Amino acid sequence: MSPSKPDYLSLPREDTARRWFVDEGARFERMLERDLGYATADGGELALPAQTLLHSEQWQHLVDAFLGQRRPGPTSGQ
């Protein structure tokens, strides 16, 4: 079976992909630090998973920032 579209060919690879992944992980940490008010630089650690500590608006902001804006549809309640 072959992919229906060749879009995957434009994805980053090797060092570029690793660098992107590291950068996105750092961006995620910065957003959590800001939204939850803790700092990993001073040894701060979350006692519970981040998604259980964020308000629904904070969680949606995180989802939008990393996965794109939510589109209205039957399951989104919009």
pLDDT digit string (tens) for 23-56?
999 998 888 888 888 766 666 677 778 778 888 8
Residues present in the chain in total: 78
* Overall pTM surpassing 0.75 (yes/no): no
Residue-level pLDDT at 78: 45
| 3 pLDDT tier (thresholds 50, 70, 90) | confident
Q: Where are the domains positioned within the chain?
A: 13-67
Q: Check: CB of residue 17 under 8 Å from CB of residue 25.
A: no
Residue 53 neighbours by CB under 8 Å, 6+ apart = 36, 46
The tens digit of pLDDT for each residue in 5-21 reads 988 889 899 999 999 99
